[in-house]
Amino acid sequence: MPHSETTTITTPPPTAVTAPAAAAVAVAAPGPSGTTARSADGRGSWLRFSPAQPLFRARAAQRLAVLAYHGVTDPRSFGAQLDRLRRLATPVSLTAVEQAVAQGRPLPPRSVLITFDDTDRSVLTHALPALAVRRIPAAAFVIAELIGTDQPFWWHEAAFLARNGGRSRLVPTGRPAELLARLKALPDPDRRRSLHELRVSAHRRPPRQEQLTPEDLRALQADGVSIGNHTLGHPSLGRCDDATVHSEIAGAHLALGKWLGEPPTAFAYPDGGYDPRADAVLRQLGYRLGFLSDHRLGPRLPAHPLRISRLQVDSTTGTRRFDTILSGLEPALQRWRGVAV
Query: What global pTM score does this model have?
Result: 0.84
Confidence of residue 19 (pLDDT cuts 50, 70, 90): very low
Across the range 219-234, mean pLDDT stands at 97
pLDDT per residue over 56-114, tens digit each?
888 888 999 999 999 999 999 999 999 999 999 999 999 999 999 999 999 999 999 99
Of the listed ranges 21-35, 58-72, 283-297, 301-315, the least confidently predicted one is 21-35
What structural domains and CATH numbers belong to the chain?
A: 11-60+314-341 (no CATH), 67-75+89-150+209-309 (3.20.20.370), 154-201 (no CATH)
pLDDT of residue 40: 56
pLDDT of residue 176: 73
Across the range 215-229, mean pLDDT stands at 98
Confidence of residue 340 (pLDDT cuts 50, 70, 90): low
- Residue 22 pLDDT > 80: no
Q: What is the 3-state secondary structure (H, E, C) of the chain?
A: CCCCCCCCCCCCCCCCCCHHHHHHHHHHCCCCCCCCCCCHHHHHHHHHCCCHHHHHHHHHCCEEEEEEECCCCCHHHHHHHHHHHHHHCEECCHHHHHHHHHHCCCCCCCEEEEEEEECCCHHHHHHHHHHHHHCCCEEEEECHHHCCCCCCCHHHHHHHHHHCCCCCCCCCCCCHHHHHHHHHHCCHHHHHHHHHHHHHHCCCCCCCCCCCCHHHHHHHHHCCEEEEECCCCCCCHHHCCHHHHHHHHHHHHHHHHHHHCCCCCEEECHHHCCCHHHHHHHHHCCCCEEECCCCCCEECCCCCCCCECCEECCCCCCHHHHHHHHHCHHHHHHHHHCCCC
pLDDT of residue 48: 64
pLDDT per residue over 148-207, tens digit each?
999 999 999 999 999 999 999 998 876 777 888 899 999 999 999 999 999 999 999 999
